[in-house]
Amino acid sequence: MDYDHLAAQIDALCHGETDTVSLMATFACELHAAHPLSDWTGFYRVVAPELLKIGPYQGGHGCLVIPFSRGVCGAVARTETALIVPDVEAFPGHIACSSSTRSELVLPVWNGAGTLLGVLDLDSNTEAAFTEEDATRLAEILAATFRDAR
Closest by CA to 94, choosing from 119, 76, 116, is: 76
pLDDT at 95: 79
Q: CA-CA distance, 123 to 150, in Å (whole number)?
A: 26
pLDDT at 32: 98
**CB neighbourhood size of 140 (10 A):** 12
pLDDT at 85: 97
Which helix (H) or strand (E) is 33 found in, with range?
helix 20-34
pTM above 0.85, yes or no: yes
- The secondary structure of residue 90, as a DSSP letter, is G
Asked whether the beta carbons of 86 and 105 are under 8 A apart, the reply is no
pLDDT by position in tens, the chain (length 150): 999 999 999 999 999 999 999 999 999 999 999 999 999 999 999 999 999 999 999 999 999 999 999 999 999 999 999 999 999 989 887 777 777 899 999 999 999 999 999 999 999 999 999 999 999 999 999 999 999 999
pLDDT at 146: 98
Domains and their CATH numbers in the chain: 3-146 (3.30.450.40)
pLDDT at 94: 78
